[in-house]
Structure 1
Amino acid sequence: MIYCNKSNPFYSHDHCNKSDGFLLMEFHYSPGLKVTLFAILLNTYTITVIGNVVIIIIVSANKQLHTPMYFFLVNLSFLDILLTCTITPKFLSLLASGNGGISYVGCMIQCYTYFFLGSTDILILAIMSFDRFMAICNPLRYMAVLSPRLCLNLALGSWVCAFVDTTLLVVHLNFCGSNRINHFFCDVDELVKLACTDTQYLNLLTFILSALIVFGSLILIIISYINIIIAILKIPSSSGRYKSFTTCSSHLVVVGIFYIGTVFMSLRSIKSSHVDFNKLAVILSTIITPLCNPFIYSLRNDQVKCYVKKMWRDVGKYMENRSGRW
């Protein structure tokens, strides 16, 4: 809840009205560059949503893909759609109109949703690494251990843990000074900077919870892949090693892209750099990674590629029939 503290030296009546909301950063670019950025972002957003929706449809319609790996992939695609829809539409509006105004409620919803979905994304990636570990290191027990019930519980557990983790960060802050956010969305770190109350404990809590989610998941991924590499190296034939590696290479690429963004976020404290690592991290996690996921997983799976071709042929035949009627 926002309220004004008139005794605070940073008190400003213009910025203390809850209905005023916040102002996101302005982009002081030439009109031509803004149009170019808008077009690139709009195309990326469209392809991301369509690509992930297609993945969900393909996995749901093809019974051969009803396996634990693709069950978690559907969760990941659904998360990617929600995550990119949380940030990108307002970003597009900011580029198109230059109006960075966002209401207090809208800002809080965007901030909470981004970190909730981001935390869930990290946990799902960690579970997918365990899935790849079971598929390669314990193939005979794979389907028995990763039963549909366990897969459902793991997915639901990820959503619940991320919800609890993010809920603990929802606190009441007093905003009594500037309402300008140096970001293209309502980032919690920027909101904390605008608060006129002591945020020491909030920063500590944020660090602890982030460490539990991010580094805990990273440790699980590293342990899984160490065991996967050991198991692959024990395979006598080179073709067998290659086949085993390809079963986890897609997930490994996605994890790599995602954690590059996490490294950028850890470098945001470097004040002397001309690169804003925090903004780069958000672009990687909410725009680049959701865009890459459908292509990374589909292009490495023959079943998915065949089903996409079949869908494309069916759509082509449908359009021909429609045009023939006219």
Structure 2
Amino acid sequence: MDMPAAQSGQGKATGKTMQAAVVVAPHTVEMVEVPVPQPGPGQVRVRLEGCGVCASNVTPWEGPDWMSFPTAPGALGHEGWGVVDAVGPEVTSVKAGDRVATLFTNSFAQYDVGDADSVVRLPSSLSGSPFPGEPLGCAMNILRRSDIKAGQRVAIIGIGFLGALLTRLATQAGAQVIAVSRRRASLDLAREMGAAETIVMDDHAAIIERTRTITGGAFCQRVIEATGKQWPLDLGGELVCEGGRLVIAGYHQDGPRQVDMQQWNWKGIDVVNAHERDRTICVGGVEEAVQACLAGLLSPERLYTHRFALPDLGSAIEATRDHPPGFVKALVMMQ
């Protein structure tokens, strides 16, 4: 007996081609037409509505020594969402027609395929809203790793998309947030997200003294570094109090880092690298993000400031690098 199309992996896109972005050289993207991927056992295919652009896309776009070109079709895109188009054998958790956020890795394309346990179904109340689940889930997992309690002082260094989300979540948890960032617009955004205090990140000693004043010399029980750069990492070690926790949420991918181990050791701080690699935990973070949005704890729509068509992926990555006026987060839209 023939299986229904959605169960056999033969969806409406079978035999067709799709558009996908390929980075062929530093700062150069080309559109290619490739076969629509087919889901294998335990996999699903998603017709993508969009995919967020991550700050981690910038470094490979620049062409470091470790990067190789051309990329696979759709590669670098890992913040997708869309509608399940077909499912492979043995898949029962989702069905064709379900709207989902994905943790796939080739989503700068019209379709992507991945394991069924790497998608999270989106409720109808979020219909029509972009939902780059991967970074939203990261924010929830960083919050958990930070172990923020009501009444604590929390410094967040770097107010981009992730820093803004964490400012909102930490404030909702009852913490007093001190936002530290280079751009005035970012500090204004932090205030909007609930930050109690803001400090311009322009002078190392001045930031330390300002934090000392705000906290009455006690400094911060939690410091979240959300930039992925050396100086903010150094600054985090200065702003955390004795026995506090330094949470490294920034993605440090451009080379080794030096740390002041004498200071960290003397203060007796916990240092947490808040990057999850266990897929189950990553999925759990996305599920928590869905519930946080439904409960009003997160309202990320305000942060999706720039939208690009798929052929304009290069411009989207460069906007993520250059932060034009008003920029917080870029989305690449397939529809």
Q: What TM-score range do you get, normalising by the shorter chain?
A: under 0.3
Query: Which structure's CA Rg is the greater one?
Result: 1
- Larger helix proportion, structure 1 or 2? 1
* TM score, norm. by length of structure 2: 0.25
Give TM-score scaled by structure 1 length.
Answer: 0.26
Q: Higher relative contact order by CA 8 Å / sep ≥ 6: 1 or 2? A: 1
Q: As a proportion of its length, which structure holds more strand?
A: 2
